[in-house]
Structure formats: structure tokens, C-alpha cells
Amino acid sequence: MDLYIYDPDIELQGVIDGYSSFRWRRKFFEPGEFELHCAATSENLSLLAEGNIIHRLDRTEAGIIEGVAIATSDTSGDEITATGRMGSSMLDRRIITPTINFTGSVEDAMRKIVSDNAITNRPINRLALGTEGVYTPTAAGQVTYKTILYAIEALGKAASLGFRVRLDVPNKQWVFEVYDGVDRSVTQTARPYVLFSREYGNIDGPAYTLDTTGYANYAYVGGEGEGSARTIVQVGLPNVDYDVNRRELWVDAKDLQKGDLSGADYKAQLIQRGLEKLAEAAVSESFSAAAVDTGNFAYLTDWDLGDIVSFENWGLRLDQRITEVEEVDEGGVVTITPTCGSPLPETLNLGDDT
């Protein structure tokens, strides 16, 4: 596989066509990441500089090099390791200021946050808005002094919408887009389903996890005011039997100020904050397995990141979104591992970041 290396101005610097290991981890709700190992030749050292871009012609995403390490091994000699995240990681470079109030579609809110803080003001180099997808989820909210990335991750998770910043080489731009996957689970009939299972012979090394640590399904959200005068709203998840399985969460949202908003609009913003915190406190349940391409279910043709598919094993079935796809190329042997559902975060955070 050829890896095209560009500088921050999207000018081609060269091509890397030989490496010992390449890991490309795509994510739906946050920036993906990559790790590249190759010989520490003078050319590779020049190409794999911090800030340069790794672009694959066969993928939508491109990666930005954030870390470089050089080491000597008894078996492989001098080796360079380049690590980083996909293009949407650049949204971590700007905070939101001044305060943005939004009411309407989640996609419009995400685009406004990016445009107001990284394109029209304090622009990030070569960043532009892509074509609007016109997705239906709505939200009302207020945000300030968070990073752009933090805010749009929270909105995306609450609305089940993904986002990316893809590399547009011909126009020398990074393009921000909101997107959604396709429901290909066995529960729908509009299109052929995708089922990963041992019975179908299309998975290897399956793993299932379930963890309810930190799970909550009902939030009390406290806005401005003190004591009995404080504005409090309550919001719960749908389809929960609260007599049996009620798990409550307190959300301190004093940073949301009513200002000139009507009482109803202000409460709508508090409800949105509660939904975002409940999305962060969801049950961690996931299936993952190395996917074996078959004529029926080929990667990128029949299923992709963001699609809703079905995993089945051990008498369990999970019909959920593919939230991660890890591609690993070790010595020319490529392994594709999709993860369906919500995996346990690598660093468990039970705090309330408001």
C-alpha cells in the first residue's frame, strides 16, 4: 500500500511504499488514530515529520503526525515510529468563544461551532465546511470555553451522528462533514442485512464485553440560581422501566446562563446537557472480532464504519452501530477488526466535566 505524505499546506512531499507495520484505527464519534513503523532512512525521517499528513487513496480519512520515535533494534535495525490522529483531531486546537447558543438541527449546530471558531474566526489552516447532509436530529444548547472537538463529540454521541475532517487534495483543503451510517442489521428489511457470526464463517477471535460501571439513565440537571430558586430539569432515556432500573445522575450546568432566553428555551438547553451527559454514561456493551471478507459481507462494499449491523455469538446478538474499525497491516497480512456498540473507554472517566 502506498502512503502519500503531504506537508501542512497539502503539498506532496513523497511516497512511502515499504513499512514493517501499519495500524489505521477509524472511529465514528471521535478522531481515529494511526501508528506506522518503518526503516529510519534519511528519506523516511524527512517525510515523517511532526505536522505532516499521511494520506491513503483508499480511505476517506487522512492522519496528522503528532509523535515521532526512533529506536534501534537487534533484529530490524534503526526504525522510526510515527503516530497521530485523523484530521478531525485539529478541532482540538480551538476553544469556543464567545458563547454560542443553538436551536435546531444537531448538524447545523456542529457546523456553526466549527465555522465560528475555526473558519471565519481564528481559522485553522485550509479548513472548510463540506456539503450539508441534512440530518434530522435536533438539539438546543449553549456552549463556551470548551474545545470544538469536545463540543461536537458530545453533540454527535447524543444524536448518533458521526463527523470527520477529510482531506481534499485537489482543492488543498480539509473538509468538515457530519455523516451517518446505514442500518444493515437483521432487524430491518429495507436492504440486505450484514451479520457477523461464527455460523456465517466471517469472524475470527470474537470478543464480547458488558460493563455498567458509571451507567445512568435519568438525569437531574441544575442550571442557574441558588437553593429553591435554582432551575432544575429532569430528563430520562426512552424505553426504560424506571420502577425497576432507575439510575440517576446529577449534572451541574451552572455554566448555562438564561440571559435573554425564554424559560422554555433555557430548559431545552438544560435538557440537551442532560442528554449529552447520559450519552457519556451509557452502558458499555460491544462485540468485536477480526472480520473475514466473504462474497456477502465485504468491507467498504457491504459495510463500513458507522453502519448498524448485527454480531452474533455465544447465544448473544447485538444490533448496533460499528463505532470503530481497526485495520492492521503486519508484513503484508491485513486484519480488519470492527467493533459494534460502545466499547469501554480506555481511560474510564466518571467525573462530570462541565
- pLDDT mean across residues, the chain: 92
pLDDT for res 203: 87
For 303, phi and psi rounded to 5 degrees? -155, 155
Over residues 108-125, mean pLDDT: 97
Measured CA to CA in angstroms, residue 252 lies from 259, 262, 354 at distances of: 18, 20, 7
Neighbours of 252 (CB within 10 A): 13
Pick from 44-58, 159-173, 187-201: least confident = 187-201
- The domain ranges of the chain are 90-179, 195-211+284-342, 218-280
Question: Does the pLDDT value for residue 283 go beyond 60?
Answer: yes
Q: How far apart are CA 296 and CA 6, in angstroms?
A: 36
pLDDT per residue as tens digits for the range 17-28: 999 999 999 999
For 269, phi and psi rounded to 5 degrees? -65, -40
Question: Does the pLDDT value for residue 351 go beyond 80?
Answer: no
Question: Which amino acid, one-letter code, is at 339?
Answer: T
The domain at 90-179 falls in which architecture? 3-Layer(bab) Sandwich (3.55)
pLDDT per residue as tens digits for the range 284-343: 999 888 877 766 789 999 999 999 999 999 999 999 999 999 999 998 899 999 998 876
Question: Does the pLDDT value for residue 354 go beyond 60?
Answer: no
Question: Does the pLDDT value for residue 345 go beyond 90?
Answer: no
Helix axis angle for 106-118 and 148-159, nearest 10°, is 170
pLDDT per residue as tens digits for the range 121-157: 999 999 999 999 999 999 998 999 999 999 999 999 9
What residues form DSSP beta bridges with 102?
141
